[in-house]
A and B are shown apart, each in its own frame.
Chain A
């Protein structure tokens, strides 16, 4: 679901982003806080998200025992060798990392686990409890926006003697006792822990950095290795353990049933499409003066559309100032909530249950009357959303020792927020406001000069580093491909590059820079001059 829709307003979205990025930093070990350093140093794993810790005493009841037996057969340990991309040196990856996590067998000889476990996997193996053999697996589907992934095992004999774990029919209730199965640190074998459902609410999914969905909170502590393991109630799966709060006690999160089901439904046609985006930021209709301005009668409740995302489904079908009164028949309260399954949830939960390509019905108050709108949920891919990216290496193009690469969340995060450089501050601004302030128009990415591989041909160009390319020889540069093409046609023997917010121009002597490239690539060990995202 859209991060825009789910934030109450842009402000809260930014807050959410802050919290999310903090969580992300912990995961990556980039955060400077003592806490995170400590965690990283104690658990030298890249994947360590959630788990629980409370009562290790197993319940003696036969029901529990049977669950554990089932788990022993169906909850698997996943060994991962992964390699993060290096956004600063885009032609090489970081040092490969080893880690492990959990997963469980579902219908159709598949394994369900977390996307964060396998997102950058180079080599994957799975192992059943008490079995010595490891089987090679591969990723079938990965959903970075909801941190779920489906694996298949190359040798089907792996599934001999296993039973798929069934999904529960309904969400658990608060205080329901659940158990969590998985392979956290502290030992080799399957671990079982127990707790209760503490809360059902929206949470940022730190894996993508921008998405929010429902999350099931259980009173479990956080340990690496539980990620991807099932949270079970009465022998059925009610969630997939995936993340925790590093600075709190007894708060662990699991991906709940609706999100799991959404993923499983989505991939039925052999592709993962992701959540459709409505692309609406709203204000609750709480202020009487605003209600009066919009001539909304006292008996109506709803939310006011404040901003429409240029990549959302609602664009051109709704307008700022429209009051959304109901969605698919659910009446929206002034705080943006609806009653659903006996829970008070944000109205975006209705969109959460939709697949890309479906539609929703809105009842909207516009020009002092109620109108009905049917909105097909077919938003285009949003290149300015800046999810964390996994698997695919960053695109780059090198010319005259100048390395150009598109803006990404990973790249912006390598730049200090307090950096005194004007170029860096512009990047932080564009990262946050490009769509709201209209800088996305006429381009589908921001092409950044990320690095100068020092060579006499570019000696006086350091101050352009981290600049966003605007034009080359007066041609606008909407993306990296356009830059590459423009840097093939010199004008009067020169390439003149302009950058956003900079009056200065970068001038490359075309013949000198072409000559220099071969030498630069050999000196700096570049395997190739460009990577444009083609499949390996």
Chain B
């Protein structure tokens, strides 16, 4: 999976990072030569590397702008000569990723090969390093147990490798700090403060996991371990990378005696209630609201959604999906529907966010946009609203919040999105419309708009966007077609917009979503401003 958001953000940045990579290519060669091919000889300390990331985030409201660059550092773990395992959160929205060696402080550029926000894991490759298809020397790791002693590796202030003893205090399915997804994770009580995410955790001379977050007041670190680490590395080394499986439904515990009686379930505390099967996901295809899931993939579920894991004991059943299965797998489930138990098969899929009406876009992947006659147009996603700050609910338009929160129960076709007029850049051409913002666009040039691709297509076909109708009104806001090319040029210059249109190239990820690939044309400048 190549995430478009991870690629170079603009031609300008592309040029600069290419220069950088040329400059460091000599270094690369030298660096690779030092430990030579003897990866097996490297001890674990040698596999620790510091990662420095420079990042920029798109301004969701003026989508051609980016935040001032900021930097962050964390750690990674060499899984072979050329590739480093780290967290996805660390390299999100990067413009440059550099690896720093212990003690010497040498820096070398790396690129992000695969990043998976569902697992919060990423693999980097040293720039210029040959792509070898050997699965490298990443050994399977032993799952940890409660009270196990482990060691966290990191750098101290002098860039010497530091060992911090830690013990496993809790194992359970918890929410990732970097994404609204739950994963089996391990809480460690650490002796020393952990100073960066991605720090490897070792036990008995083997990697056990990576730190994904750390709370200094309690010295609690959260670690992601197996089954995710081994599977991620294994999957990542063979294309195409599919990511973890997802089922696509929300559920509720089923303890209310009145509801159990109504559903004709026994008083035995078993089964969970399906709340919302998500549209465009396996859950949406297989399940109905009020289905009761009694067994999942061979395991009985209790009424709070737990099963008995042979290794970890009582675990939330979502681990059976993300932790045990891959997209495409068929899992048997037992569902209690219409008063009787039935056997169903569910074919699992990948990231459910792709089929959402309002995607979470937790990685803040660069959003597509269009500026026409000063109208700023884009699709609604959660990044758009969260950019308003912690009190985004107070500040965002209540209708947009509604679309986000209730998108899964709204009537829509897979591939539909909410297309939003972000605002209007005042200009002569749009006089009278300056105060419109956060409007949901329903038609453009009289044609229905269900996602931004529709708008791109209308622009390419009609040559201009001149009539806009919003959900709130019954009249088109019109722009003078003849004046549009000139106005677009003027607006570009006055508001310093490098590109009036950003349309992502079709990517592996987008092609997983067939609808969004339809009618997709190569990105080009606004037709109206072309000669």
Q: Determine if A501 and B398 form an interchain contact, defined as CB atoms under 8 angstroms apart.
A: no
How long is the Cα–Cα vector from A228 to B474 in the complex, in angstroms?
A: 42
Q: Which residue on chain A has the smallest CB distance to residue B256?
A: A460
B410 to A, closest residue via Cβ: A501
Interface string of B471-501 (1 = CB under 8 A from A): 1111111111100000000000000000000
Contact B399 A287 (CB under 8 A): no
Q: Which residue of the partner chain B has the closest CB to A14?
A: B397
Per-residue CB contact flags for chain B residues 391-415 toward chain A (1 = under 8 Å, else 0) read 1111000110110011001000000
Q: Interface 1/0s, chain A 4-33, versus B by CB < 8 A?
A: 000001111000000000000000000000
Contact status of A433 and B399, CB under 8 A, knowing A417-B393, A418-B391, A422-B406: yes
Q: Does B206 contact A (CB under 8 A)?
A: no
Q: How far is the CB of B477 from chain A (nearest CB, A)?
A: 7
Question: Which has the most chain A C-beta neighbours within 10 Å: B257, B466, B474?
Answer: B474
Measured between C-beta atoms, what is the minimum distance from A507 to chain B in Å? Answer: 4
Contact among A418, A432, A494 with B394 in the assembled complex (CB-CB below 8 Å): A418
Say yes or no: B258 contacts A512, CB within 8 Å.
yes
Q: Is the CB of A503 within 8 A of B399?
A: no
Cβ contact of A429, chosen from B261, B401, B471, cutoff 8 A = B401
B12 within 8 A of A: no
Say how far B175's CB is from chain A's closest CB, in angstroms: 14
- A417-B393, A429-B399 as given contacts; A504 in contact with B479, CB under 8 Å: no
In the bound complex, how far is the Cα of B476 from the Cα of A478, in angstroms? Answer: 33
Which among B258, B276, B405 is the interface contact of A508 at CB below 8 angstroms? B258
CA distance A418 to B401 in the complex (A): 11
Docked pose: A463 CA to B431 CA in angstroms: 47
Given contacts A425-B393, A426-B402, contact A287 B435 (CB under 8 A): no
Q: A10-B472, A504-B275 known; A461 and B391 CB under 8 Å?
A: no
Is residue A95 within 8 Å, beta carbon to beta carbon, of the partner chain?
A: no
Interface residues of B in 192-235 (CB under 8 A from A): none
**Are the C-beta atoms of A283 and B478 separated by less than 8 Å?**
no
Residue of B nearest to A423 (CB): B405
Of the listed residues A287, A289, A319, A426, the one surrounded by the most CB atoms of chain B closer than 10 A to its CB is A289
Known: A287-B430, A418-B394. A319 touches B474 (CB 8 A): yes
A284-B432, A503-B276 known; A304 vs B256 contact (CB < 8 Å): no
Taken together as a complex, chains A and B put the C-alpha atoms of A305 and B391 apart, in Å, by 35
A496 x B474 contact (CB < 8 A): no
CA distance A11 to B435 in the complex (A): 7
Among B409, B472, B476, the residue within 8 A (CB) of A307 is: B472
Q: Does A61 contact B (CB under 8 A)?
A: no
Is the pair A288, B480 in contact by a Cβ cutoff of 8 Å?
yes
- Complex CA gap A431/B401 in Å reads 13
Residues of B within 8 A of A504 (CB): 252, 273, 275, 289
| Inter-chain contacts of A356 with B (CB < 8 A) | none
B255 part of interface (Cβ distance < 8 Å): yes
User: Which residue from chain A places its CB closest to the CB of B399 in the assembled complex?
Assistant: A433
Tell which of A292, A437, A505 touches B478, judged by Cβ atoms closer than 8 Å.
A292
* A512 vs B399: C-alpha distance when bound (angstroms): 39
Instruction: Please determine whether B405 and A287 come into contact, CB atoms closer than 8 angstroms.
Output: no
| A426 & B405 in contact (Cβ 8 Å cutoff) | yes
Contacts of A10 in B (CB 8 A): 472-473
Cα of A396 to Cα of B273 in the assembled complex, Å: 31
| Count of chain A residues with a beta carbon within 8 Å of a chain B beta carbon | 54
Q: When A292-B480, A425-B405, A503-B275 are in contact, do A320 and B393 touch as well, CB less than 8 Å?
A: no
Q: How far is the CA of A426 from the CA of B409 in the complex (A)?
A: 13
Residue of A289, A306, A461, A508 touching B475 (CB-CB under 8 A): A306
CB < 8 Å neighbour of B477 from A290, A428, A459, A494: A290
Bound state CA distance, A309 and B466, in angstroms? Answer: 27
Find out whether the CB atom of B393 lies under 8 angstroms from the CB atom of A418.
yes
Q: How far is the CA of A431 from the CA of B255 in the complex (A)?
A: 33
Enumerate chain B residues within 8 angstroms of A419, measured Cβ to Cβ: 393
Question: What secondary structure prevails in chain A residues at the interface with B?
Answer: mixed
A457 to B431, CA, bound (A): 60
A509 to B257, CA, bound (A): 9
Decide: A283 near B398, CB < 8 A? Known: A289-B478, A504-B275, A509-B258: no
Using A286-B431, A320-B474 as known contacts, say yes or no to A11 and B409 having CB atoms under 8 A apart. no
Number of residues of chain B lying within 8 A (CB) of chain A = 45
A420 lies within 8 A of chain B by Cβ: yes
Q: A287-B430, A418-B391, A505-B290 are in contact. Are A320 and B475 (CB under 8 A)?
A: yes
Q: CB distance A287 to B256 under 8 Å?
A: no
Contact A320 B473 (CB under 8 A): yes
CA distance A412 to B276 in the complex (A): 26
Contact B480 A501 (CB under 8 A): no
Per the bound structure, the CA–CA distance linking A428 and B252 in Å amounts to 25
A8 nearest CB across to chain B (Å): 8
* A436: Cβ under 8 A from any B Cβ: yes
Docked pose: A459 CA to B260 CA in angstroms = 14
CB-CB nearest in chain A for B467: A293
Q: Which residue of A lies closest to B484 (CB)?
A: A289
> Which residues, 289 to 323 on A, are CB-close (under 8 Å) to B?
289-290, 292-293, 304-308, 319-321
Chain B residues in 8 Å Cβ range of A286 = 431-432
Q: Return chain B residues, CB-CB under 8 Å to A461.
A: 256
Report Cα–Cα, A508/B257, bound state, in Å: 10
CA distance A494 to B406 in the complex (A): 27
Do A496 and B252 touch (CB < 8 A)? no
| Residues B258 and A494 in contact, CB atoms below 8 Å apart | yes
Instruction: Write the chain A residue with the least CB distance to B400.
Output: A429
B474 touching A321, Cβ below 8 Å: yes
> Would you give the shortest CB distance from B510 to chain A, in whole angstroms?
29
Measured in the bound complex, the distance between the Cα atoms of B256 and A460 in whole Å is 6
CB pair B262–A494 under 8 Å, yes or no, is yes
Closest to B403 in A: A429
Query: CB within 8 Å of B: which of A322-359?
Result: none
- Are A283 and B475 touching (Cβ within 8 A)? yes
Interface presence of B61 (CB below 8 A): no
Could you tell me the distance between the alpha carbons of A437 and B440 in the complex, rounded to whole angstroms?
11
Can you report 17 residue pairs joining A to B where beta carbons are below 8 Å apart? A283-B475, A287-B430, A289-B429, A289-B466, A289-B479, A289-B480, A305-B474, A305-B475, A306-B473, A320-B474, A418-B392, A418-B393, A433-B402, A460-B259, A461-B256, A503-B275, A507-B262
Given contacts A287-B477, A429-B398, A501-B409, 16 further A-B contacts (CB under 8 A): A283-B432, A285-B432, A290-B432, A292-B478, A307-B474, A319-B474, A320-B474, A429-B402, A432-B398, A437-B399, A460-B256, A503-B289, A504-B273, A507-B256, A509-B258, A512-B258
Please name the 6 residue pairs, one residue from A and one from B, whose CB atoms are nearest each other, closest first: A320-B474, A286-B432, A460-B256, A289-B478, A429-B402, A503-B289
